[in-house]
Structure 1
Amino acid sequence: MTEAPDTHRTLDQEELAELIARLQSRGLRTEISMEARKGGAGPADAGMLWIDGSPATVPTTADYVRDSPYALRQEDDGFGIYEGSVRLADAALAPRPKYYDLKTADGVPYWQIALMHLDSMASTVLQTCAYWGNSDQCTFCGIGVSLAAGRTIAKKTPEMLAEVSVAARDLDGAVDATLTTGSTATPDRGALYVGRCAQAVKEASGLPVQVQFEPPSDLDVINRVRDMGVDSVGIHVETFDPEVLARVAPGKARWGIEAYFSAWERAVRVFGEGQVSTYVILGMGEDPDLTVDMCRRAVDMGVYPFIVPLRPVPGSLMEDERPPSADYVEGIYRQVVPHMLRRGLTATGVMAGCARCQACSGQAALERAGSGSTKGGVPDGRVSLPLVF
């Protein structure tokens, strides 16, 4: 067991953002059992922990992690993150959720219905997708991986999710619910079903809920989702580079990137600025200048671009890829975050979902650094983080 130093310096927010970017690029070696997410529809291979009190998910099991210079070590009074013999930061591990020990009346384990992502209950309500297993499959996605491994069930009902949400709130302190879905071959793309699930969760637990879906062919569907009591939505373009989107997500690319902007425009009108977000995945060969420009365009509409590094999912078509370098990811953060701050668009205003949680990205730490506050916000309209061009 490694003896911890007598005094531990807390990282400032810029240092924290840099460390999270490095860990998400190289991974974290550990021999300690950690709560982790495997497979699924979004970032996976996700060891869940808090670094100096900030939520983070980092790769822990991928093959490339063996070569990482960063290690998690147990200490007398907790855990620390080390590079060689140098202690970099405090770490606290996510405990195994208590509700994982429960089952529904017909015997379905709660953990097969929804997982805890640190302080958020999350579920893929339809673990099947019209794109999976054919030429339209998104290469970065692992939605079918966890289903094939028996770690989840194909369809979660509103009643199941409502039951689990109450337990997650009461036993494990869940503060919101994030519900996503595989795309369906219907005009609403699955939005109405995930909306009904969200309505049941909200009525049962009172938790704020984000739902995630593709742009529906009829934008009035977005209004119907809002009428179900949903608090925020994620409509994820994945990448702003049309050539990359056509290569990594051919089914989604057929809608065209402008379809996302149209859906966002309606969603912002319905849900409000900051309650509409999109994943922007870095490291798939995208044009960085185009990425920055389009992120800023989204921000100007009131859309929160949740910028994350590629997290290659074991079992996906991109399982042999590597995450982008930390320098590249941090460079994009530093070009987008100051623009967000000037628009007053920060994670602190998001009610639910991935952009509220922020664990899969380092950008919220830069938001806090840029605002001059550890709690976010822009005091007196000033932005202290330098704008990088």
Structure 2
Amino acid sequence: MTVTTRPPDAAAALPPTALPPTPSPPSAEDVARLITALQSQGLRVAVPMEARAGGAGPADAGMLYIEGVPATVPTSAPYVADSPYALRGEDDGSWAVYRDGKRLASASPAPRPRYYDLTTADGVPYWQIALMHLDSMASTVLQTCAYWGNDDQCRFCGIGVTLAAGRTIAKKTPAMLAEVAVAARDLDGAVDATLTTGSTATPDRGAMYVARCAAAVKEAAGLPVQVQFEPPADLDVIDRVADLGVDSVGIHVESFDPAVLARVAPGKARWGIEAYFVAWERAVAAFGPGQVSTYVILGMGEDLDVTVEGCKRAIDLGVYPFVVPLRPVPGSLMADFRPPPREVVEAVYRRVVPHLAARGLSAAGVIAGCARCQACSGLGAFERSDGGIRDGRPSLPFLGH
């Protein structure tokens, strides 16, 4: 006897092996490598995205989460047009990073912070006082620098560009920053504050002013705060900063290669790299291991072996070297540069991460600041990756030279 049945739907008619495979989520290692690639080559986007156009640190920074990992990546520099990576919409309304038509990872562009719509009583927009960098409120409290506009100007910096463009104000007061910090916490979930400053011609290099701003933020909003400043002439200043309740500090050498530092940051180079180690030692004594960090910028012509050895020496002191690829700032003296290749940056990360782990330092242990956030670097992503740290032990091999 023949039995007639309804034709099954098309999917049910396929044998199990012919069903479209469900894409596996990328591993933590894949995400770390993808973030590193995006920070070198950029991401083509067709969706409104919060971005930082200038400033004193990494700029041209489209802000997003890649598989939940915070990242800032170039989105508007001219070289981004040639990037093989694109942010594309999905059928369900979500977003993902693609390369050559292949979906690599989910992505969530950061929304515009709600506190940007507010102004102070005297009419200053909150966004001119402090910006949200994903989950961190950040501000350059003095948007002027003793090095700007003369032979000592740091070639990678855009502190004066931002001011000239009207995107900020020259001086933020402690009261202003406290007001904005409360709004950033309540409206946009800020988890910390990062306060930096242009260097002043005073012996403390601006450290005490930025520390007073930090104290006001902590009192008003209760957020952990990192402050960033140059090595002061009197190292007792570091202890006074700690006495104001600051949680962590960034004292940024920028490059461990003396020749590169003299070329790209002559004013900072006059201190001598050894002066940074002396200041870091004092700062670690005041703030504790892991609560002192330094920017280390890749892509300025530095000797990579010298760079890695400098990172290791800093780590041995208890300093977290926040290694980042150069993010050329539009309008800066290095505006025509490009970020270094992914392979170069990744190789440095893979040599630094095991040393961090061996000394018990990690981004997860930093209370506040850039090294806590990690969005402008892939270093923290490699720490968290499958090939990074397992059970507190390093599993990335030390790579040869």
CA contact (8 A) 2:27 2:386 kept: no
**Native 8 Å contact 2:353 2:383 kept in 1:** yes
Match of 1:256 in 2: 272
CA distance in 1 between counterparts of 2:185 and 2:314 reads 33
2:215 matches 1:204: no
Q: Count the aligned residue pairs.
A: 380
Instruction: Report the CA distance between 1:11 and its aligned residue.
Output: 1.8
Indicate which of 84, 88, 105 corresponds to 1:69.
84
Q: Does 1:384 align with 2:395?
A: yes
Which residue among 313, 330, 337 is the counterpart of 1:321?
337
Q: Could you say what secondary structure the match of 2:394 adopts?
A: coil
1:310 equivalenced with 2:302 (yes/no): no
User: CA shift at 1:386, angstroms?
Assistant: 1.8
Describe how 1:282-293 pairs up with structure 2 within 5 A: 282-293=298-309
Shift, 1:6, TM fit:
7.9
Partner of 1:11: 26
Q: Which residue of 1 aligns with 2:347?
A: 331
Q: Which amino acid aligns with 2:198?
A: G
Distance 1:371 1:188 in 2: 42
Structure 1, unmatched stretches of 5+, are: none
Match of 1:187 among 203, 214, 225: 203
Q: Is the 8 A contact 1:81 1:87 kept in 2?
A: yes
1:317-375 CA-to-partner distances (Å, cap 9, x unmatched) read 000001000000000000111010111100010000000000001111111126866xx
Q: Please give the alpha-carbon distance, in whole angstroms, between the structure 1 residues aligned to 2:336 and 2:23.
A: 37
Report how far residue 16 of structure 1 moved. Answer: 1.3
CA distance in structure 2 between the aligned counterparts of 1:11 and 1:315, rounded to whole angstroms: 37
Q: Is the aligned partner of 1:273 residue 2:289? A: yes
SS of 1:147 mapped into structure 2? helix
Name the CA distance, whole Å, in 1 between partners of 2:130 and 2:145. Answer: 18
Q: How far 1:8 sits from its partner (Å)?
A: 4.1
Alignment equivalent of 2:374, drawn from 358, 362, 377: 358
Sequence identity percentage: 76
Q: Please report how far the alpha carbon of residue 9 of structure 1 lies from its aligned counterpart in structure 2 after TM superposition.
A: 2.6
Whether the 8 Å contact between 1:369 and 1:384 is mirrored in structure 2 is: no
TM-score with structure 2 setting the length: 0.93
The answer for the alignment partner of 1:37 in structure 2 is: 52
Cα distance between partner residues in 1 of 2:282 and 2:379: 26
User: What secondary structure is seen at the aligned counterpart in 1 of 2:160?
Assistant: helix
- RMSD between aligned residues: 1.2
Indicate yes or no: 2:112 matched with 1:96. yes
Q: Deviation digits for residues 273-320 of structure 1, max 9, x if unmatched?
A: 000000000000000000011100000000000000000010000000
How far residue 75 of structure 1 moved from its aligned partner, in angstroms, is 1.4
Residue aligned with 1:139, SS:
coil
- 1:54 and 2:69 equivalent? yes
* Contact 1:127 1:154 (8 Å CA) reproduced: yes
Counterparts of 2:388 and 2:352, CA distance in 1: 17
Query: How far apart are the structure 2 equivalents of 1:298 and 1:17?
Result: 23
In the alignment, residue 9 of structure 1 is paired with which amino acid? S
Shift of 1:111: 0.3
| In 1: Cα distance, 2:248 partner to 2:255 partner | 21
Q: Secondary structure at the match of 1:365?
A: helix
Give the secondary structure class of the aligned counterpart of 1:268.
Answer: helix
SS of structure 1 residue aligned to 2:103: strand
Instruction: Kindly report which structure 2 residues correspond to 1:120-135, keeping only aligned pairs within 5 A, or say none.
Output: 120-135=136-151
Q: 1:111 aligns with which of 118, 123, 127?
A: 127
- How far residue 383 of structure 1 moved from its aligned partner, in angstroms, is 2.0
Secondary structure of 1:21 counterpart:
helix
Unaligned runs of 5+ in 2: 1-19
Query: After the TM superposition, which of the residue ranges 11-20 and 349-358 deviates more from structure 2?
Result: 11-20
Residue 219 of structure 1, aligned match among 235, 246, 251: 235
Question: Which of 220, 229, 242 pairs up with 2:245?
Answer: 229
Aligned partner of 2:13 in structure 1 is: none
Q: Is contact 1:371–1:382 with CA below 8 Å preserved after alignment?
A: no
Contact 2:353–2:388 under 8 Å retained in 1: no
User: How far apart in 1 are the matches of 2:393 and 2:376?
Assistant: 27
State the Cα distance separating 1:14 from its structure 2 match: 1.6
Q: CA deviation at 1:7?
A: 3.6
- Determine the structure 1 residue equivalent to 2:14: none
For residue 388 of structure 1, report the CA deviation from its aligned partner: 1.1
Change (3 A) 1:198 1:67: same
- Aligned pairs for 1:135-154 (under 5 A) are 135-154=151-170
